[in-house]
Structure 1
């Protein structure tokens, strides 16, 4: 597995490749519509989901991606109530992190009721960092994707760093990519975790163009232990955004798991950073 010792090297490679990659205008970056992964506001969402969504809307977010909690995927609200609350605030519930488990049929039904488009498996559903296991999981994903497609949903997968480990010279994430059907499994690339794994997001944009309709835009501190506010970490955010079309990105969710002060202040900083690139 690539280690965190590669951070500075990879950060330099990202910056150096700026002149080599297709360019997206700064105006396009600033006009982009950004979403937020609600795990960033996990405590507040459990305490008062509607008030928290109102605060999120005031920060300028237009899309919402839900996450699992002790009160379910919709923080104690019904799926329909969650979707309607977002809509009333000028936002849209477009995606949700879920588990691929024995309750998946109900998960799909709830997603339809909420009005969201994507259901994203948030982590590897089985243990085993082997090529054979990843091939088996890929088939499970294809089956789940077919089931979602029949209901008008889109199934996808969100990575962490461990998917980029290797076995016998094969990167496990690449095995997953090569064995999933593009029209059935829609990848959500967490850019922060890719860099933590010692890999380059641009490499994956080029190797699998158009395969990443969803992003987690997340900066990571230089030690790779915690997420941090935009511009304070190792991810070249401007370079990523300039190449979002190559990746196929349609939905960009900002996620931050740790904060310098509060989630609201961190997200305010992140949105201002994007406006002032």
Structure 2
């Protein structure tokens, strides 16, 4: 299992004022793990929210994911631990990560960690934080400190804890994105899960966001969307998914590329389409223009 090595002292450079291209990102140093600038294949996973309309169990989705060619899976709940354990053992897959709300860890830390560590998860991710959190610097800092506290406890168990963005994190406060403020105040062990589709809808350039936080992003949700906020199949929206894959392989420090299509109308067809796309564009060779331009 590849473990992300996080550089110390991430700077507080705002995305609004500093957009770095692929060439600049490739020139950055890295204290360990994946070499910067190396076109390395990254394991692929899929978020099970994609298949929420399928009425399939978690174990059934694990088997479908293995057949499609995914290396791992990312659930947002567990329905039957024994069935899930059997499916993982029989397919050879494991959890790349899992969406686990911060309240669950605050209320039942030991059992939650034990369950997900047994299934191989390297990272647990809080999927959404609303309630006006992203409307002021003070509330963002308060949220970052809460995540820090849980991330420190999770790190003691050999795992990471982190946060998954939507579009609201790209509201600006005094010329800076809310995500910039969060990143400035997050500890080095906080795992940022970048959802590139929601970043685009928020008004950001997802490739530039990945470049800017290449040492903080541990996993990437490969979700395609239109600028207007409509969900699309991967490769059919307005996100430059090919450039995202190239930057993730060549400049960032990403453990998994995770396919997601919120509420896919044809779930299993989309499951296979996502695997095919990621296998095509996430390989040992540079297959395209890794520019940060969209």
TM range (shorter): 0.7 to 0.9
Q: How much is the aligned-residue C-alpha RMSD, in angstroms?
A: 2.7
Find 1:103's aligned residue among 102, 107, 117: 107
Is 2:148 aligned against 1:138? no
Aligned partners of 1:205 and 1:246 also within 8 Å: no
Relative contact order (alpha carbons < 8 A, sep ≥ 6): 1 or 2 greater? 2
CA distance in structure 1 between the aligned counterparts of 2:86 and 2:57, rounded to whole angstroms: 16
Find 1:241's aligned residue among 226, 230, 245: 245
1:197 Cα shift?
0.7
Given the two structures, how large is their TM-score scaled by the length of structure 2?
A: 0.75
1:247 Cα shift?
2.6
Q: How many residues align?
A: 248
1:51 Cα shift?
2.5
Aligned partners of 2:225 and 2:238 also within 8 Å: yes
Equivalent positions of 1:1-277 (< 5 A) are 31-44=41-54, 46-67=55-76, 73-74=77-78, 76-78=79-81, 81-101=83-103, 102-105=106-109, 106-124=111-129, 127-128=132-133, 129-182=135-188, 184-225=189-230, 227-244=231-248, 245-259=250-264, 261-277=265-281
Higher strand share: 1
CA distance in structure 1 between the aligned counterparts of 2:86 and 2:132, rounded to whole angstroms: 37
CA distance in structure 2 between the aligned counterparts of 1:84 and 1:143, rounded to whole angstroms: 33
Q: Give the unaligned 5+ runs of structure 2.
A: 1-18, 28-38, 282-294
CA distance in structure 1 between the aligned counterparts of 2:83 and 2:131, rounded to whole angstroms: 32
Aligned partners of 1:37 and 1:254 also within 8 Å: yes
1:152 Cα shift?
1.7
Structure 1 residues 151 and 274, CA, compared in 2 at 3 Å: closer, same or farther?
Answer: closer
Given the two structures, how large is their TM-score scaled by the length of structure 1?
A: 0.79
Aligned partners of 2:207 and 2:243 also within 8 Å: no
DSSP 3-state at the match of 1:51? helix
